[in-house]
Structure 1
């Protein structure tokens, strides 16, 4: 995949996310998703958008491990801690809808975190993207929320 197109798509997604909501909903945090050994060579980005009492979350990922079933079902979790040292249990399971959709720059999915963005950035948290149970529950991306 062309890196320039990938970066441009991420920038546009971040800018469009920032256009929604009121003037008070103006905080955006971009998180680079680092591929795990199970998904080496892939890239990803998560964009967190302040929506007051909750946080919008848009993922764009470049790819998944070979053999992952279609249609693509991915799980997302927010853990206390960091990618290097995550908590034992997720603080938030974001799996009401696990469907990921193929976009121009890879796979995309959107979630809502039931907490204000300021609460996520006030202490260490990390976001984890995982394959579905049918595909082995493999962690494929991790990113520290800062």
Structure 2
């Protein structure tokens, strides 16, 4: 596959993954029954696998290393935070207010990750907060 195809696949997987997380989080908070369905539990893993594989392919195609590209390292660290917050948000048995706060924090985090990807700045949109 060529670079543009892989990049488009990656961006599409990002959109599907974040949209799915948004919907599942909202479903959890509203007590929707579909949250427990098999497809709601397995489809995100398929989408996230495509997302990860396309990210690795892009990094390889561009010969990028997190040690040489600070913005890429920032994205990876942000991804780990997003995953932790997402697990907290979607895990049953936690207080609903904690899950809601984790869900919102995860959405803010993924927005920041996208801003890092677009700007190639490790601070993403946070870089603009320091300038007056």
- The one of the two structures with greater contact order (alpha-carbon pairs below 8 A, sep at least 6) is 1
The structure with the greater share of residues assigned to strand is 1
TM-score scaled by structure 1? 0.26
The structure with the greater share of residues assigned to helix is 2
TM-score scaled by structure 2? 0.28
